């Protein structure tokens, strides 16, 4: 179990997040909480920020004529949200995201759905080129309030060994 605090003085503790390379174990699953209820505003803002002009995401009358009868949440928002949910558990200490693949959107997300994420550690290995760093591979899945999987993806991250994260070198962090 990873401690989420460090002692910074007598009877004084500072909250910490993330995991060092040594803290990851293949097969472990981290449930990311809290969940997030997706609002119409979230969907519209992300759609407009990314210049996605498909009316299924922001035109209610257009969406009513579709098989879904309502607006769909834009899929890159679902992906971004699940990545964000996983940060405190798996990538808060990461040096870099090295890549993502096997991204799947297996069910629609609608305004008012609440999403929950979880990540399983699939593999880890020390870096061949970077001392004191390793590569961790995870699969993250997102489920809605009914337990239906709406998105899944694999991600490779470059993670520092204990004592070698940026926060270990920043005074008072």
Instruction: Give me the CATH number covering residue 42.
Output: 3.10.129.10
pLDDT digits (tens, 9 = 90+) for 1-48: 566 766 777 888 777 778 989 999 999 999 999 999 999 999 999 999
> Contact, 46 vs 125, CB < 8 A?
no
Specify the pLDDT at position 126.
96
Q: How many domains does the chain have?
A: 1
pLDDT, one tens digit per residue, over 71-102 is 999 999 999 999 999 998 899 999 999 999 99
Report the pLDDT value the prediction gives residue 6, as an integer from 0 to 100.
66
- Contact (CB, 8 A) for 56 and 73: no
pLDDT tier at 166 (50, 70, 90 boundaries)?
confident
pLDDT of residue 17: 79
What pLDDT, in 10s, does the model give residues 86-144? 998 899 999 999 999 999 999 999 999 999 999 999 999 999 999 999 999 999 999 99
The CA distance from 149 to 141, in Å, is: 7
Name the residue range of residue 154's domain.
5-169
**How far is residue 29 from each of residues 45, 60, 98, measured CA to CA in Å?**
31, 38, 20
Q: Give just the sign of the alpha carbon dihedral 12, 18, 21, 26.
A: positive
Task: Enter the pTM of the model.
Answer: 0.88
Contact 153, 140 (CB under 8 A): yes
Structure tokens given for 84: 């964000």
Q: Quick check: 173 pLDDT over 90?
A: no
pLDDT at residue number 5: 66
């Amino acid at each position: 179990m990873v401690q989420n605090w460090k002692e910074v003085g007598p009877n004084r503790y500072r909250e910490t997040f993330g995991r060092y390379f040594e803290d990851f174990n293949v097969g472990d699953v981290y449930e990311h909480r809290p969940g997030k209820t997706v609002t119409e505003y979230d969907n519209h803002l992300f759609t407009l920020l990314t210049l996605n002009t498909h009316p299924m995401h922001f035109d209610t009358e257009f969406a009513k004529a579709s098989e879904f009868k309502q607006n769909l949440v834009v899929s890159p928002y679902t992906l971004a949200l699940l990545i964000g949910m996983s940060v405190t558990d798996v990538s808060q200490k990461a040096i870099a995201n090295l890549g993502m693949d096997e991204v799947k959107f297996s069910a629609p997300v609608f305004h008012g759905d609440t999403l929950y994420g979880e990540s399983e550690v699939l593999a880890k290995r020390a870096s061949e080129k970077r001392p004191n760093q390793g590569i961790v591979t995870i699969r993250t899945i997102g489920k809605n309030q009914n337990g239906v999987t709406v998105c899944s993806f694999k991600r490779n991250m470059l993670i520092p060994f204990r004592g070698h994260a940026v926060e270990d070198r920043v005074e008072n962090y």
